[in-house]
Amino acid sequence: MLLSKLTGLCHGILLFKEIEKLASVYATTLVKGTRVLLKYRIDSISDSGAATEEETETLRAADEMQLQLFQKLIFVKILSRCPKYYRPYLQYSNWEEMEKYAESTRQQETKR
């Protein structure tokens, strides 16, 4: 009985570690993709002449602010879904650390 509980506990921890990796990679990739789409939007507005240089810079600043809020929202959502007793053991405690962790995870996966 004890062996069964220990096996279940170890299996749960390993699965949660995998979910942690996947969530960080997914979240950072989502933000990077959104950043690229917003850049293309600004570039097309700028190239078409639909906005002045000042308006384009204002749009660029607004997009950057929205991306920062989007990052914070994603990070808070990930933390809110994480069990409270596991939070101290997360590999990241802020967005920048999560980006570094996701990048190292990507590099490890590409080496396989």
What are the residue boundaries of the structural domains of the chain, listed by start?
Answer: 2-111
* pLDDT confidence of residue 100: 94
The upper half-sphere exposure of residue 12, i.e. CA atoms within 13 Å in the direction of its Cβ, equals 8
Please state, in angstroms and rounded to a whole number, the distance separating the CA atoms of residues 80 and 74.
Answer: 10
* Confidence tier at 85 by pLDDT (50, 70, 90): confident
Mean pLDDT across 70-75: 93
13-72, pLDDT tens digit by residue? 888 888 999 999 999 999 999 999 999 999 998 888 888 889 999 999 999 999 999 999
For 99-112, give one letter per residue: b (16+ CB within 10 A) or e: bebbeebeeeeeee
* pLDDT confidence of residue 29: 93
* pLDDT confidence of residue 49: 85
Contact status, residue 74 vs residue 27, Cβ threshold 8 Å? yes
Predicted TM-score (pTM) of the model is 0.80
